[in-house]
Amino acid sequence: MRVLKSRLCKSLPVGTGLLARPSIPVTIRDQEELGSPSAFFLDLRLFLNNLFRGEGRPRRAARTASFIALCILSVGTFGTPLTSKSSSLQLYTPADNWPQFRGNSQLTGISLSAVPKTLKLLWTYEGGESIESSAAIVNGVVYVGSQAGDLLALDLNSGSPKWKYKVGDGGIGESSPCVSNGIIYVGDYSGVLHAVSAADGKAIWTFKTGAEIKSSPVAVDDKVLIGSYDEHLYCLNPKTGAVIWKFKTGGPVHCTAGILNGLAFIAGCDEQFRAIRLADGKEVFKVASGAYTGASPALVGESAFYGTFNNDVLGVNLRTKRIAWRYQHPQRQFPFYSSAGVVDGRVVIGGRDKIVHCVDAKNGKRLWTFTTRARVESSAALADGRVFIGSNDGKLYVLDFITGAKVWEFDAGAPISASPAIASGKIVVGSQDGRLYCFG
């Protein structure tokens, strides 16, 4: 049975949301009208809930929204204080950027971008071969990898190419670009992590691991983390690619590391959910998941959420270091490969049962489901009261966050296993026929 699990894990297929406009300044008069910061914090959760759901948007919403960045420093999604300033800043993805897989280093999939109620196709780019890498968007430029072996840089507004970087013989599968300090990081099938200049697409350095890379890089605290199928999580110097430390697991590291409070969290093919200290690469604790995992953990407050190949979704309590709950669909028992999006006490995740599931983050109780016509391996992006997610039935779906009702769909004609990226009111996602789409 152990051999079978290893083979299955190695054959894994190649491959939230509040509204705000933080650029609007808050004046002293604004703060007086809004009330003191402490009083504002008390009302923040109600305001954000209403804003996310599209209810009761007050006239002063624009000014209030610009104050959200300050409030995030002390209030978490569930109203729980966050102890780390650096980690709390990563709970939401800024409106104008989507710099890495799942948008931010806590992998919550939330964007503060305002998305048009009625979407239309703005442009399409022909990438040549399957695009299962999820896009990164920074400073009006889209970065995405393709199985043709290209790392592409495209203008967000027009789709026109800026540059193309060739990774070599190994194509880019599910590894999604990460953008930090003018450098693009992405892994490829040959096991190489590439550091590329965002300005001109020139190579800065490469680092060779012992096996293919499907994990996506994360840049945090002057470090770059990347998982490899050689069973290691690597921590590298972002400027030189030199190894700072590496951690050996018991199986391929397929997931992307989530970062919270100075710890890197990975859920792996060795059936263990691990917390690894960023400073020195030492394991702080681990929790037995009971199954191998291809999904990346979403981290909110004292909880982690991820699906497994044992057909369930787990809520892990990071304080007690125990599994708080398990969710399984009562009728359809299929693996969860998609990574979760989490906001407002709800976990949204796609399954190979062809269903998008929304469950209560507190207890794992089902809130709603939406059925597509094929497995859902795309991970949900959440913004503006809606869920944006692809399906292998070839469609990009937009669902109501509260009810799960379908709001809109687009038929790409080919499986969409990549995950949407959201920035500046635009949705970018690739499909397995090599096309990259931008909606807005």
Residue in this structure with the two tokens 């691990």, named with its chain if needed: 274
Write the DSSP symbol of residue 48.
H
As given in the structure block, the two tokens for residue 148 are 């043709």
Q: Which of 308, 348, 317 is nearest to 108 (CA)?
A: 348
Spatial distance between the Cα atoms of 105 and 95, rounded to a whole number of angstroms: 15
* Edge-to-edge strand ranges of the sheet holding 303-307: 298-300, 303-307, 313-317, 322-327
**Mean pLDDT over the full length of the chain:** 84
CA distance 325 to 314: 6
Question: Tens of pLDDT along 343-359?
Answer: 999 999 999 999 999 99
Residues 186 and 337: their CA atoms lie apart, in Å, by 20
The pLDDT value recorded for residue 90 is 62
Torsion angle of the four alpha carbons 359, 261, 113, 138, in this order, in degrees rounded to the nearest 10: -130
* pLDDT given at position 29: 26
Domains of the chain with bracketed CATH? 2-17+115-433 (2.130.10.10), 28-88 (no CATH)
Secondary structure of residue 197 in the 3-state scheme: strand
Residues of the chain with pLDDT under 70: 1-90
Supply the pTM of this predicted model: 0.83
d(CA 137, CA 158): 13
pLDDT of residue 17: 35
pLDDT of residue 168: 83
